[in-house]
Amino acid sequence: MTAARSGGAGAPGGHPRGRLDDVIHAPVRFSVTAALAAVDEAEFKVVRDAVEITDSALSKQVAVLEEAGYVKVRKGFVGKRPRTHLSLTGAGRDAFARHVRALRDIAATGLPGSPP
């Protein structure tokens, strides 16, 4: 399942904010996707510590990303201890890359006629 990707007008020539992904744009979800974009897979607690949030807060945000089809959750065991691993899906990697491009485009956008 996929979520609505962007708010605003994403028409060619429109402001780049129209290409921002509503699912990824929330600061914690952006931080989670950024952390996962750097690796193939990460253990839940490693992401939690990197993003500096609680287990429950990460669980809630991962559920949103998973529902959007951006994150895959894999549960397993190391010995007798349960472990949860997170990874970005192909769609998640693509959405993150598009979102970052839109942010860069916004940062590069000045007023018409202003120096570069």
Q: What CATH number is attached to the domain comprising 39?
A: 1.10.10.10
Return the pLDDT at 66.
Answer: 98
Task: Answer whether residue 39 shows pLDDT above 70.
Answer: yes
Domain assignment of residue 66, given as a range? 19-104
The count of domains in the chain is 1
Asked if residue 93 belongs to a domain, the reply is: yes
- Per-residue pLDDT, averaged over 90-111, amounts to 93
Asked if residue 1 belongs to a domain, the reply is: no
The pTM is what?
0.83
Asked if residue 3 belongs to a domain, the reply is: no
Q: Closest Cα to residue 99, out of 33, 38, 2, 39?
A: 33
* Residue linked to tokens 């990824």: 24
- Residue 110 is encoded by which pair of tokens? 């000045």
Return the pLDDT at 12.
Answer: 59
The secondary element (H helix, E strand) that includes residue 75 is strand 71-78
pLDDT band at 5 (very low <50, low <70, confident <90, very high): low
Return the pLDDT at 2.
Answer: 42
Asked if residue 115 belongs to a domain, the reply is: no
Number of DSSP helices (H) and strands (E) in the chain, helices first: 5, 3
Return the pLDDT at 8.
Answer: 45
Return the pLDDT at 78.
Answer: 85
- Per-residue pLDDT, averaged over 1-23, amounts to 68
DSSP-derived letter for residue 39 is S
Asked if residue 47 belongs to a domain, the reply is: yes
